[in-house]
Structure 1
Amino acid sequence: MVLQNTLTASRKILDEYGVYFPKFATENRERFVLGYETQLVDEGGKIDPQSVPQRDHWDRITSRNNLLPSTTTIVSNRAFFKQLTAQSAPHFEAVTNHIASSKKVVAYLRPPDTYFLLLLQLRLAQNRDIVAPSRTRIKERIAPLGQAWSGGVSLTLFSPSVLTEGNIVDDFFAHHVPNFDRQLLTRPPQPQRHRISAEAIALLIDRQHGRLDENVDPAVMVEQIVREDARLPGATPARLRANAARTIRNWAAPDLAWLRQEYGIRFPEQGYKDIDGDDVDLSVIHFTDGGQICAFDADRKDALYEKALARARLPRLARQLLTLW
């Protein structure tokens, strides 16, 4: 969100220099797919046949540019990457042709092991099921785009050793909006986001496999584990065990080979020089215990569970009152 936050905070000065950033496409309160949806969609993802077609993001961008022409339009949304499919890419190509004569898709890629851990923390904290990672996650998104897209495709490694000035904001502007003076950007302080500890990971995996008190509402249990994890001292930062990290890297061998062949991309981080797609520990890919992937403090895990369970057992009103303290 660092790039999106900077773009949002800098909208006025960007606009003065002919750079249009439609904040509504980043916020996507309508939950459009790739910024586009012709009919209302319910919470289950089903289209309501009686719904009236909505004015999509691309229409709004086109209308605005017709009134106030800009030299550059930046549309940024982190969800777009996972929404690229063989079905959505041709439509994405068609609707964006009405906006610009020159187009480029820009994506920043994390190393597979780093991405795996971040996604694991996020899904566990959101009480979502854990699924085995795809061996071709990036190819599954970029390949359909390459077949349908008439514009450029820029893939950059999300690595401080590669990024301009070591950060995504400077890198994006240096390569994709080079005529804009980066000194004019407003860079708001970034909120401190709590990433769950190794102990919380272990507990939340235990919960998914029925090893915690099942008489407590699962959603409440997850909420209290995450809340107490941020408050309890002595957290062990989540880091993949060496063998787990190696397996995740090797598991992604098909993706890494495709990136190297199609785009000349190699991850510079240690461990990516000697990839062996056959050297994979399947017990890591299909792990059922937090200790298989991260080392943690057993005493802190027990203390965290004790505190979270005590609060989860309280009546809802009592929990809400305690939250205010």
Structure 2
Amino acid sequence: MNGMKFCKKLHLDIAASAVSVFPRKVIRGGYIDEYGRIMKFDKYKGDGTYILGYHGGHFRNFEDYESWEPLNPNDEIRMMHFRAGREAQKQMNNEVYSFPSTGALMECSWEGFGLETFSRILIHHKQAKKIFDDHGKFTLEMVKILAENNAQVVILWDDYGFKNGLFMSPRNYRTYIFPWIKQICDAAHKHDCKIMLHSCGDIYDIFEELVKLGIDAFHPIEPSTANPDYDIFELHEKFGEKITFVGNIAPQMLATGTIAEIEEYSKKLIRELAPGGGYIFSSGHSINPAVTLDRWQAVLNIREKYGNYPINVPD
């Protein structure tokens, strides 16, 4: 409930209610989560805020992974988090919406090992398939449970790339990940539930395929990749009738940009993407501690002034 109230104070309309990535083992400075990821709290020098960050993989090899307790979609804590988010939303008269959110296939798979170790595992098809299938089955069952309990939207946290391209070849995505994404989307849609994919990085080479698989919304179309073609405005021109775009004021701009730059880009997003619907105005990742109050207030001022229908934003 406190998290939802905090979102309201920041004028955020959506709060993510995690139903996975829970701690499995406490370690000095943090914990190892249920996917085998080492997570630690880092102190941001700017204001002393502690931020949870990824610090490598717990698994040294496939055998370590096999000995780890499997993910259980029926663990009661998952639905406790989902119900708590929904109850908080109800108590706040739907001023902030709670969307259940879960790790999925790519990001949580490689991060349990670290990228170097996982890259070696990809050479061994049976091992790679086992890992992706384990996480695919878990995510599918989790989405089914949520959709059957009237979740309206489920967010998948699943970075597929970095600033210079995909984490692995498109062929590997088609082999290991896309069949599960199709099943996940189909299972959600059966209960009129939508799937939002959060993926950082440049995923231009597989974007159209993800649309065809049934993803309903994408966040954030990262604006700071090295690929000029991975552009939210151009992608909206091509796919705006098929999916919802969520984004994408760059965190770098929110941390170091001028107020004028932030205002102009915010207006451009609303002016070009919002008419006709299918757009959610948001940051290009998150609101991190480096974002100053005056810059965030500039974003809110633009949303307050221009973020209502009918859309009318001057050039």
- Compute the TM-score of the two structures, normalised by the length of structure 1: 0.30
Greater fraction strand: 2
RCO (CA 8 Å, sep 6+): is it higher in 1 or 2? 1
- Compute the TM-score of the two structures, normalised by the length of structure 2: 0.31
Greater fraction helix: 1
Tell me which structure has the larger Cα radius of gyration: 1
